[in-house]
Amino acid sequence: GFKPTQRDNQKQSIGTMLKQEQSKNLTPEEIQIRDWTQGKERNIRALLGSLHNVLWEGSDRWNQPSMGDLLTPDQIKKQYRKAILVVHPDKLTGSPHLLLAKMVFSELSEAYSKYQNDPSAL
């Protein structure tokens, strides 16, 4: 009989192993937020463009914008406000998605604030 060795477990990338180790102390919502924001560093366009990846089932009020819908400051403001309406914690009081909504709301708010302070940084 063939028995797998430890070497078979070493085929994972270092990044994958690091994520697994960090995930041990995180809630499922924190893991979702980490995965959603990773590589976007408070970039409002990227966060809005990938918001559908973090939203829960039944959040059908969000229509995913294309990157062409996020070119001008007015378009970004419009899409940001639409996103905030979907994830605003006050609208989801008592919902099982409240914690995730608070985290998404916070990330979007911080990214939009950064964008308003320096729109050329994107």
- Phi first, then psi, for residue 26 (nearest 5°) are -110, 150
pLDDT at 10 (0 to 100):
58
Alpha-carbon gap, residue 39 to 55, rounded angstroms: 18
Of the chain, the percentage scoring pLDDT greater than 90 comes to 49
Show pLDDT as tens, one digit a residue, over the chain (122 residues). 666 655 555 567 777 777 777 778 888 888 889 989 988 888 999 999 999 999 988 777 888 999 899 999 999 999 999 999 999 999 888 889 999 999 999 999 999 999 999 877 65
The pLDDT tens digits for 68-91 are 999 999 999 999 999 999 999 998
Alpha-carbon gap, residue 19 to 5, rounded angstroms: 23
Q: Is the CB of residue 48 less than 8 Å from the CB of residue 82?
A: no
pLDDT at 109 (0 to 100):
96
Which homologous superfamily is 26-117 in? Answer: DnaJ domain (1.10.287.110)
